Amino acid sequence: MMDICTDVLIVGTGVAGLFSALNIEADKKVIIISKTKADECNTYLAQGGISKAKNKDDTESFVQDTLKAGRHKNRKEAVEVLAKESIKNIDLLLSLGMKFDYKDEEFDYTREGGHSINRIVHSTDETGKMVFETLYKEAKKRKNISIIEDCILVDILKEDKSCYGGIVIKNGSVSLIHSKFTILASGGIGGLFTNSTNRRTSTGDGIAIAFRNNIELENLEYIQFHPTALYEDKDRERRFLISESLRGEGAKLKNINGEAFTDELLPRDIVSNNIWREQLRTGTDFVYLDISQMGEKFLKNRFPGIYKGCLARGLNFKDGVIPVTPVQHYFMGGIKVDLNSKTSMNGLYACGEVSCTGVHGANRLASNSLLEGLVFSRRAAIDINSKIDDKQLKVVKKDITLEKALQLKKENLSCALEQFKKVLGEKEHELINNR
Ligand code: SIN
C-alpha cells in the first residue's frame, strides 16, 4: 500500500465507524480501516438490541433511566441528546434496510436491566450482526467509501497540535494515510482482560494512542462487567454472552441450590455485584439462569443465536438452566469528546466505545451502546461536513521504518495495559499481561 490522501480517515468498522462514514457528504473521499476483517468487530456480537424512546413522551423517562443506571455520573446534556435523537437514528437505520422484529405491527420492544419500560428494538438476539450487515452493505455500495481490512493504526500524524491522518501497517509495510479529518472508532478494551465478552483484538489501541499524544482521556476506571456470560471452566478466546434480554423476557437468576437471590432487572453493576456476592457465599464460580418456565419453542425462535451458541458448547435449552457469571463487557470511559464527538485535538474525532461522551456515566444502561454509536457518529459526520470545504489537506512528512512502526504497536499494547493496571488496583490480575 502506498501513502494515500483522503478527506476523512475512519479507524474501525463497527457501528460508529460505518455510520459516520455513511453520514459524510457523498462527494468527500472516505477511507475506513479495520485492524482485522471488517466483521470482526464487537458490534457484530451485540445481542440484546438498541434502546430508543418509544415516542416523544418517553424521552424524559429514558433520560432518567440512563442517569439512574449511570449513578448520575453521566453528562446530562449528552444523555438528553441520546434520548432525543434516538427515534430519528433508528428511522435512518430502517431507511438503510435494517430489519427489526415486529409484533402486532409495532416494534417487538423488549426489556433489559434498568429500563422502566420495554423500549429496546431488536432483531432476534443477533441485532449487532444485522446492524453491521446493513451498514457494511451500504458502505460497500458508496463510491466515495473504501474499506481497507487488516490495516493497523499505530499512531496519528500530527503537526501544530492538529491531527492530519494516521500511520498504519498493512501487508508487512508501513503507510501514511493523510486526511483532513480523522475519526477514531477503534472500540474497547476487553481484549486486555482474561475474561471478556469482547474480541481478543479489542486492546484499547485508541486509548493508548490518545494517551501517548496527550489527548484528553476520562473515567478510565468506569469498566462494566456484564452479569451473565456463559460460565465455562476452560480458557476461551472470549466468553459467550447470554443476553440480558433473556432476563427481560422472563429468565430468573438462581444460586446453585436453586434459590432466587436478586431482582434480575436491576442495572448491570448491581446485578453483577449480587452475583459475585452469591458466588462467594455459596463457594461457587457461577450461578444459574433458569429458563425452564419460558418454553423451548419460544426460546428457540426468540434467541436462535444463544440457542446455537449454547448447543455448540454442549448445553441444551432443554436442561432448563444456563451456568453464568459476570465478565468484563464494556468501557464507559475513554477519549473525552464534546457533543459533536470532537476530541481535545484539532482534526480528531472519536466515537463509539473508544470515546467518552459521558452518556453512560459510571455504568451503561443496557442496549445504549449501539445507540450511542449511531447518534454520536452521525454528529461527528455532520460537524465534519460543516468544516471540510474550508480545510486544506496538510501532508505531514514522516520517515518511519517497519521496525519502528512495529515498536509503536507493541508500545501501544503495553501503554493500554499500564493505564488499566493503574485504575484496577487489586483487580489487576484480571488483566492479561503482555498477550
Ligand atoms: C446484552 O444483550 O445483554 C448486551 C447488550 C448490551 O451490552 O447493552
- Judgement on whether residues 389 and 363 belong to the same structural domain of the protein: yes
The protein residue with its alpha carbon nearest to ligand 1, atom 8, reads 367
Q: Does residue 268 fall inside a structural domain?
A: yes
Q: Does residue 35 fall inside a structural domain?
A: yes
Q: Does residue 435 fall inside a structural domain?
A: no
**How far, CA to CA in Å, does 312 sit from each of 171, 308, 315?**
34, 6, 7
- Judgement on whether residues 109 and 133 belong to the same structural domain of the protein: yes
Q: Is the CB of 48 under 6 A from ligand 1?
A: yes
- Judgement on whether residues 32 and 177 belong to the same structural domain of the protein: yes
Confidence of residue 426 (pLDDT cuts 50, 70, 90): low
| Nearest-angstrom CA–CA distance, 434 and 57 | 49
Q: Does residue 15 fall inside a structural domain?
A: yes
Q: Which residues span the domain enclosing 216?
A: 2-222+332-430
Average pLDDT, the chain: 95
Q: Is the CB of 272 under 6 A from ligand 1?
A: no
| Nearest-angstrom CA–CA distance, 250 and 11 | 39
Q: Is the CB of 243 under 6 A from ligand 1?
A: yes
Last residue of some domain: 269, 299, 327? 327
Q: Does residue 19 fall inside a structural domain?
A: yes
Q: Does residue 60 fall inside a structural domain?
A: yes
What CATH number has the domain bearing residue 40? 3.50.50.60
- Judgement on whether residues 19 and 118 belong to the same structural domain of the protein: yes
pLDDT of 65 > 80? The answer is yes
Task: Please identify, by atom number, the ligand 1 atom nearest to the C-alpha of residue 366.
Answer: 8
Helix ranges, 55-170 (H) = 59-69, 76-95, 127-141
Confidence of residue 424 (pLDDT cuts 50, 70, 90): confident
- Pairing mode, strands 4-11 and 30-33: parallel
- Judgement on whether residues 323 and 336 belong to the same structural domain of the protein: no
The protein residue with its alpha carbon nearest to ligand 1, atom 6, reads 367
Are the C-beta atoms of residues 9 and 366 closer than 8 Å to each other? no
| Nearest-angstrom CA–CA distance, 376 and 382 | 10
Q: Does residue 309 fall inside a structural domain?
A: yes
**How far, CA to CA in Å, does 133 sit from each of 17, 39, 129, 197, 330?**
13, 8, 6, 20, 22
pLDDT of 381 > 80? The answer is yes
59: helix, coil or strand? helix
Tell me what pLDDT residue 435 has. Answer: 34
| Nearest-angstrom CA–CA distance, 223 and 43 | 18
Residue 179, strand partner residues: 6
Cα(105) to ligand 1 centroid in Å equals 25
Q: How many domains does the chain have?
A: 2
Contacts of 41 (CB under 8 A, 6+ apart): 12, 13, 14, 17, 34, 132, 187, 199
Last residue of some domain: 310, 327, 344? 327
- Judgement on whether residues 83 and 12 belong to the same structural domain of the protein: yes
Place of cell 479495520: 34
- Judgement on whether residues 323 and 340 belong to the same structural domain of the protein: no
- Judgement on whether residues 236 and 87 belong to the same structural domain of the protein: no
Q: Is the CB of 127 under 6 A from ligand 1?
A: no
Last residue of some domain: 278, 304, 327? 327
The number of beta carbons lying within 10 Å of the beta carbon of residue 328 is 26
Residue 33, strand partner residues: 11, 148
Q: Does residue 273 fall inside a structural domain?
A: yes
Confidence of residue 335 (pLDDT cuts 50, 70, 90): very high
What CATH number has the domain bearing residue 302? 3.90.700.10
Q: Is the CB of 47 under 6 A from ligand 1?
A: yes
- To test the pocket of ligand 1, the residue of 66, 202, 327, 367 to mutate (highest count of ligand atoms within 8 Å of its CB) is 367
- Judgement on whether residues 254 and 207 belong to the same structural domain of the protein: no
- Catalytically active residues, by annotation: 268
Confidence of residue 2 (pLDDT cuts 50, 70, 90): confident
- Judgement on whether residues 7 and 136 belong to the same structural domain of the protein: yes
pLDDT of 185 > 90? The answer is yes
- Judgement on whether residues 73 and 131 belong to the same structural domain of the protein: yes
Backbone angles phi, psi at 45, to 5 degrees: -90, -10
- Judgement on whether residues 238 and 381 belong to the same structural domain of the protein: no
Q: Could you tell me the pTM of the whole model?
A: 0.96
| Nearest-angstrom CA–CA distance, 195 and 192 | 9
